[in-house]
Structure 1
């Protein structure tokens, strides 16, 4: 997801095309359960695996309604007496069948955000079963997509329907019956979308074909391993810019940009930018994960979202001083960190968001030099709040939009700064191989042989410790599981300079500290969180952390952040 608080900070002028967005009806509040994603898995939801989904959706722009027909191949991971799907209760369930048998209404219930199907006999562990659900209704209208998600019913400048979905914060149950949890993977997806003739439905994966259906057109897309929230509807009178990207791994990757009429020049320019960005990402981290399908982008009336192989782009094709479109680069990087590397639960959402945000200054360093990297890191540092732990305890659901806690900022900016500090601590020779192993599950990923992998912060620590042969519990506890940033207490007594790290962590914070003395840098190893050195003279000027590589408490930034709350 694109970060909300930094639109003006990092992408000045990069506004969603509000002039073409029609007024939205005031959306009704979501049901309490439906408004949340990653609620604890229990019962049947914990023991169901969706091996295959065929999701057919007919979209009616005039009435702002959809009709869905969803077929599933469900694999039981434990003995089941019932099947349970998450589904927004504003949808009416019209029919349910199991193993080809149409069920009477008494065999299933749809209430309180859950569709429960009672089985005639237990489904044994390891056994598959076929399920079909038909439903329809007016889906939830997004209040402020993509941060407060749902459907966006808009119009192009010519008055044609322009529709998009974004449901990362609320979950897939805003669109279709699903298991709304990050850990639940889908094997394969057939997405079949029916739209009024003249419109195009851009979808996940590969386009299998289109067909006429009276005054409508049906688009059939097929995808492997899609994430729940990455399945999206993006509909407009699109035209398509195409080219192939020749990967350094020897394979050709199809690229498709679905743009509104009149935007061909911008779409082709961004395809060129994306080619350079793919080359950078493949060099640093590994092969593009979905090369067998496509690199896809669709112009949308919402700002952006990392929908798998069909990224939402609503930045308006600006010319930026960076030399490339920052928003599109962010969303493209999510194909590696969000769609390939997935957080096991929302509590570890910093991983895809923070690492992706860090790729932005990294890419700037690659194309523009060190000054651009440092300048971007300074911009990001101003948005680190650290009021709550970056990784909340399992079972506690963090609120992305909590304006006081600002966890929704920290998963981007604090996450990026932790990566920046790790680069200083362990070095690139350890960090980049660790990220490759974290992302693909091995150190030598091969195109066509990669599958998405779900990870936790603990997984990341174990991989780094294996590569570096260091115990990094002190680092991970201080930065991920404690709210307060480490503080460096510095004391000068004549020629003696002492430093002590102060954190609420039970582990001594052993972060080495560089000190610049008379133009030369010296590193204190800070064993046990303490360090001491002798200055050449009592009045010698010194500078702590001259490269600004360590994420630590900064009184000046804190005062600046709190400037509006002063009396």
Structure 2
């Protein structure tokens, strides 16, 4: 899909799944490997405003709980477009607490709530106004005590109006009429179809999934495959177990799938299962061509960032009736095998980036979302260099540069919700991707490859030398990344982060040439010092101008040709691009 098409669909809301839209060029016309999914018209039933938000402040009760495990048994009924589910949630009190508080969409009817096996009565002992369920324990749970809550619920979950941008369930059908079902709930959160604490800092330590579907369908999902149980009545349960999953990354994927499977020999010595679940009707040659990309992409990420974070589970991809989204160990792929002349599938590559930037390292707050999107998006130009050389990387970076918005700062410095950063009318929107990537490139050009890549690895794993089995998913912030970069580079780069991330306007390099000298001066959005060194080419000879205090001078002969920043290492204001946009370009 072209970036223009993505923009038309986004209408202000950008998704993790679509970061690569910001860099994707217009695809060549090709015949899709699989027919477009047949849309199933369903009346829109709307969730509450609370449920449709995510990353909302947690209650005191939620802050006093550690989420140990979610055991989810979900029967998915394609004919009625409904689910019937039981969730068993285990918690440990980290402070005295008298209630368990979780979120669950009010579109789903709760039929039973039990605490440690005892049935509770609605209203008196539990309620779920607006989708925030409070379950009163009837006693004070002491620090260190555990509690198990069982919630039975059923009904028709929210249908995604435009997955994955506006999410929920996708009830589609393949060309032959087989059910083809997926969930995509990143902007709305896990509570669309299972009771959870809908906040990135409230990940359960483990989620076990038992997904029951018609026996002629498959249900690939997160984590390690634990086998199937054929009930002999036309229904089969698929069992999965995932450690430390992002809550919105728990995904249901149901369809007439075949699996292509292999083992990837990691450069770190472990063997990782890799799987692709595709529609049985797909062109085998296109399936094989896409699957052949898995191992090179894994090798790129492992050599660039570090070990695949979930090697003891799998690297999985499933074909979906929506464009795509990163779902930990089971990334959604709906790009229909389209080619765009770059020699790799951009959607597959970008979603895989989020296994590192999003699932292994999760931002502590949405204000730091560029750590997911910007660093993840920078992996695409780096991969093009890995595959084809410098020209392809520079072409990709230029596409990103051309599409900057620069209306809001990438980082505000305050707590933000997802809507406040993804919607471009109130936050950075697509600049999370493009500008974040270009900032990462300028940082790499400034401090060098060794310091840059060691900084990225430390951010992702919490250590500069990760090895399979000796790290766990973690949370990161922009301030932490700055501290890491300072340590690795031996410099104080507060000015760099402030000048790029905390300002909407790009730094402007003003030039004055007179009396045999070229004078350069950086102007930033907050008028702060910006001592970014600048390479200058004078009649083909390069030199680096040290910009002490944001100013520098060099001697330049009267008729010499001067080229500023010949390798485009520095992200800065380009007036000619602003004029082009003002004349009627996209954005």
Fold similarity call, TM over 0.5:
yes
- Aligned partner of 1:73 among 90, 114, 122: 90
The CA distance in 1 between the partners of 2:128 and 2:502, in whole Å, is 38
Q: CA deviation at 1:217?
A: 0.7
Return the offset for 1:79. Answer: 1.5
Q: Which residue of 1 aligns with 2:364?
A: 344
- Map of 2:526 onto structure 1: 505
**Correspondent of 1:82 among 99, 103, 109:** 99
Shift of 1:127: 2.1
Q: Which of residues 120, 124, 129 is equivalent to 2:142?
A: 124
Contact 1:339-1:452 within 8 A present in 2 as well: yes
For residue 447 of structure 1, report the CA deviation from its aligned partner.
1.1
Match of 2:57 in 1: 40
Shift of 1:481: 1.6
Distance in 2 between the 1:328 and 1:178 partners?
28
Residue 478 (structure 1) aligns with: 499
Show CA shifts across 1:66-96 (max 9, x none): 1221111112222212111111121111111
In structure 2, C-alpha distance between the alignment counterparts of 1:384 and 1:515, rounded to whole Å: 25
In the alignment, the residues of structure 2 paired with residue 97 and residue 561 of structure 1 have an alpha-carbon distance, to the nearest angstrom, of 59
Q: After superposition, what is the alpha-carbon deviation per residue over 1:290-309, rounded to whole angstroms, capped at 9, x for unaligned?
A: 11111101000011111011
Higher RCO, 1 vs 2 (CA within 8 Å, ≥6 residues apart): 2
Q: How far did residue 458 of structure 1 move?
A: 0.8
Counterpart contact for 1:169–1:400, Cα < 8 Å: no
* Aligned position for 2:272: 253
Instruction: Give the drift of 1:408.
Output: 2.1
**In the superposition, relative to structure 1, how do residues 18 and 506 fare at CA in structure 2: closer, same or farther (>3 Å)?**
farther
Partners of 2:539 and 2:553 in 1: how far apart?
A: 17
Of the candidates 387, 392, 408, which is equivalent to residue 429 of structure 2? 408
User: Secondary structure in 1 aligned to 2:240?
Assistant: strand
SS in 2 for 1:399: helix
CA pair 67-412 structure 1, distance change in 2 beyond 3 A: same
1:419 corresponds in structure 2 to 440
What does residue range 302-321 of structure 1 map to in structure 2 within 5 Å? 302-321=322-341
Match of 1:386 among 396, 402, 406: 406
Equivalent pairs counted in the alignment come to 565
Match of 2:27 in 1: 12
Deviates more, 1:484-493 or 1:263-272: 263-272
Q: What corresponds to 1:429 in structure 2? A: 450
1:191 to 200, 209, 214: 209
1:115 aligned residue: 133
Are the counterparts in 2 of residues 14 and 315 from structure 1 also a CA contact under 8 Å? no
- The Cα offsets for residues 533-560 of structure 1, whole Å up to 9 and x where unpaired, read as 111x222221111111111112122222
Residues 436-492 of structure 1 deviation map (CA, whole Å, 9 limit, x = unaligned): 111011111111233111111111001111111211111111222222111111111
Distance 1:4 1:277, change over 3 A: closer
Q: Could you say which residue in structure 2 is the equivalent of 1:370?
A: 390
Secondary structure at 2:543 match in 1:
strand
From 332, 337, 344, the equivalent of 1:324 is 344
User: 1:483-504 deviations in whole A, cap 9, x for unaligned?
Assistant: 2111111111231211111113
The answer (yes or no) to whether the contact 1:22–1:153 under 8 Å persists in 2 is: yes
Tell me how large the CA RMSD over aligned residues is.
1.9
Which structure 1 segments of 5+ residues have no match?
A: none
* Whole-Å separation in 2 of the counterparts to 1:171 and 1:348: 18
1:205 and 1:142 map into 2 onto residues whose CA distance is 24
Q: 1:3 aligns with which of 18, 30, 33?
A: 18
Name the CA distance, whole Å, in 1 between partners of 2:301 and 2:64: 36
**Do the aligned residues in 1 keep the contact of 2:298 with 2:308 (CA within 8 Å)?**
yes
Contact 1:181 1:345 in 2 (8 A): no
- Structure 1 segments, 4+ long, off by >6 Å, are 14-18
Deviation (angstroms), 1:110: 0.7
Greater alpha carbon shift after TM alignment, 425-434 vs 122-131: 122-131
| Alpha-carbon distance in structure 1 between the residues aligned to 2:580 and 2:103 | 43
**2:287 aligned counterpart, secondary structure:** helix
Report the TM-score, using the length of structure 2 for normalisation.
0.93
Q: Partner of 1:452 in structure 2?
A: 473
Q: Distance in 1 between matches of 2:413 and 2:390?
A: 37
What is the alpha-carbon distance in structure 2 between the residues aligned to residue 2 and residue 245 of structure 1?
24
With normalisation by structure 1, the TM-score equals 0.96
2:194 matched residue in structure 1: 176
Matched, 1:236 2:248: no
In 2, distance between residues paired with 1:180 and 1:458?
A: 24
Q: How has the CA–CA distance of structure 1 residues 324 and 4 changed in structure 2, closer, same or farther, with 3 Å as cutoff?
A: closer
Residue 192 and residue 358 in structure 1: after superposition, are their counterparts in 2 closer, same or farther (change >3 A)? same
Q: Which residue of 2 aligns with 1:217?
A: 236
Matched residue, 2:574: 554
Q: Give the 3-state SS of the residue equivalent to 2:182 in structure 1.
A: strand
Report the CA distance shift for 1:378/1:59 in structure 2 as closer, same or farther (over 3 A): same
Partner of 2:7: none
Give the whole-Å Cα distance in 2 for the aligned partners of 1:69 and 1:375: 50
Q: Is the 8 A contact 1:152 1:164 kept in 2?
A: yes
Tell me by how many angstroms 1:407 deviates.
2.0
For structure 2, the residue ranges without an aligned partner over 5 or more in a row are 1-15
Contact 1:512 1:523 in 2 (8 A): yes
2:484 alignment counterpart: 463
Once the two structures are TM-superposed, the CA of residue 230 in structure 1 deviates from its matched residue by 0.9
